[in-house]
Amino acid sequence: MREREEEMETEVETRTRSGRDTAQVRALLARQHIETPSWAYGNSGTRFKVFGQRGVPRTPYEKISDAATVHRFTGVAPSVAIHIPWDAVDDYGKLAAHARDEGVTIGAVNPNTFQEDDYRLGSVCNPDPRIRRKATDHLLECVEIAKQVGSHHLSLWFADGTNYPGQDSIRARQDRLAEALAETYVAMPDDMTMLVEYKLFEPSFYQMDLPDWGTSLLHCLHLGPQAKVLVDTGHHAPGTNIEMIVATLLREGRLGGFHFNSRFYADDDLMVGAADPFGLFRIMHEIVSADALLQEAGVAFMLDQCHNIEAKIPAQIRSVMNVQEATAKALLVDADELARARADGDVLRANAVLMDGYDTDVRPLLAQVREELGIDPDPVRAYAASGYQQRIEDERVGGAAAGWGA
């Protein structure tokens, strides 16, 4: 009798409420791919203060070693995005080889057209054709760099915009933007995706030339199938329903990826899931519902954060874990029961089924996933015990700590 009960028990455990086989859910979680940003390992801050920290990387090589460390302790962060010129090196092949030696790959390549005096009135949208040429040449240079490091993503964000009504022609700036994007698009090899990131405001405060998902999507549709929209979760007006944007872009096949972070007010770039774990869950529920979780679905899951006051590597580890938790909860939503409740028009039951997934404590499940990946079930504790932090603080003395150089 006792065995039968135990059998029943284990039986129950192997099937989640969502009807998904628990092993299937663990297998999906084990294949998750969350890309970390090189710039999160360097010093960053706000316009008020950039706080330095001990052990901060001084070179793109050290940034990649820190990103590889996050992968070693989470198992699901196998690539690192780079930003040019913050990560400029003489030999990009050597940088890619270093990444491989460390067990990661170089992911999205981000051009930087927002930190030179020439870009005061914009880069690719600047009224001055000489400056537009300079900015476009930088985009083309980053296409070449992406080829050299084996990257398949060119990730574009422009600070371009105006601060006062009348300052420039909104329409003419769109024409200039379209021209630069088109020239860059045709320079990309067929296996490269152009990610077009939008942002409602900052550093321009009257209008940004790529302010919202609609403007980004329109440019992508004009460019071609290799151009997709990048959703930075910190780039919307307060109260924006981001999962609605995600569902719409997935439906169009134009969701290229995410820059995950969280915020209480503006583009705070805080740890993803820290300010709004339920919001992150709702986004991942749209992803799971559209079967767009794994790499082959073509959505790039990337973090874009800066850790002004907190230790950077543990913060990245915690952020990756927050995405894993939101994903696991979304995978545990009983999709069949949800469909039934929706078909019955049973509003409360439908909401309850979704909340059931969200209210599930998925930490034991993720601990199991990590054990099956051969890593410590508690990455934060394991990193603290690894001595890596102490080692980099002892070794990285002298030289200039990497930063945004803003």
- Judged by the rule CB under 6 A, the positions of this chain that interact with ligand LRH are 39, 110, 157, 197, 199, 232, 259, 267, 304
Taking CB within 5 to 8 Å according to partner kind, which of ligand LRH, Mn ion, none is near residue 199?
ligand LRH
Which token pair is 19?
A: 């009807």
Nearest to 264 by CA among 276, 278, 281, 277: 276
Q: Give dist(CA 211, CA 203) in Å, integer.
A: 12
Least distance to ligand LRH, CB of residue 259, Å? 5
Pair 100, 93: CB distance under 8 Å: no
Q: Which is nearer to ligand LRH, 49 or 130 (CB)?
A: 49
By CB under 5 A, name the one of 269, 304, 334, 337 that touches Mn ion. Answer: 304
Q: Which is nearer to ligand LRH, 270 or 333 (CB)?
A: 270
Nearest to 254 by CA among 287, 231, 229, 235: 229
**Residue with the shortest CB distance to Mn ion:** 259
Least distance to ligand LRH, CB of residue 255, Å? 16
Contacts of 83 (CB under 8 A, 6+ apart): 37, 38, 39, 110, 112
Q: Which is nearer to Mn ion, 155 or 207 (CB)?
A: 155
Measured between alpha carbons, how far apart are the two ends of the chain, in Å? Answer: 69
Least distance to Mn ion, CB of residue 157, Å? 6
Least distance to Mn ion, CB of residue 197, Å? 6
Taking CB within 5 to 8 Å according to partner kind, which of Mn ion, ligand LRH, none is near residue 160?
none
Least distance to Mn ion, CB of residue 301, Å? 13
Q: Which is nearer to ligand LRH, 87 or 286 (CB)?
A: 87
Least distance to Mn ion, CB of residue 158, Å? 11
Least distance to ligand LRH, CB of residue 39, Å? 6
C-alpha distances (whole Å) from 285 to each of 19, 226, 282, 293 are: 16, 25, 5, 10
**Residue with the shortest CB distance to ligand LRH:** 157
Residue 265 CB neighbour total at 10 angstroms: 8
Pair 269, 313: CB distance under 8 Å: no
Taking CB within 5 to 8 Å according to partner kind, which of ligand LRH, Mn ion, none is near residue 39?
ligand LRH
Nearest to 158 by CA among 117, 199, 99: 199
Which token pair is 57?
A: 């990387």
CB under 5 A: which stretch of 10-18, 178-186, 231-239, 384-392 binds Mn ion?
A: 231-239
Q: Which is nearer to Mn ion, 66 or 232 (CB)?
A: 232
Least distance to ligand LRH, CB of residue 233, Å? 10
For residues 247 to 286, the per-residue mask of contacts with Mn ion, x marking binding by CB under 5 A and - elsewhere, is ------------x---------------------------
Least distance to Mn ion, CB of residue 93, Å? 27
Q: Which is nearer to ligand LRH, 197 or 286 (CB)?
A: 197
Pairing of strands 161-162, 207-208: antiparallel
Q: Decide if residue 232 touches Mn ion (CB under 5 A).
A: yes
Least distance to ligand LRH, CB of residue 173, Å? 18
Q: Which is nearer to Mn ion, 83 or 259 (CB)?
A: 259
Q: Give dist(CA 262, CA 284) in Å, integer.
A: 14
Q: Decide if residue 153 touches Mn ion (CB under 5 A).
A: no
Q: Which is nearer to ligand LRH, 242 or 335 (CB)?
A: 242
Nearest to 117 by CA among 135, 102, 137: 135
User: Which residue shows structure tokens 């780039």?
Assistant: 235
Q: Which is nearer to Mn ion, 243 or 304 (CB)?
A: 304
Q: Which is nearer to ligand LRH, 87 or 376 (CB)?
A: 87
Residues that bind Mn ion (CB under 5 A): 232, 259, 304
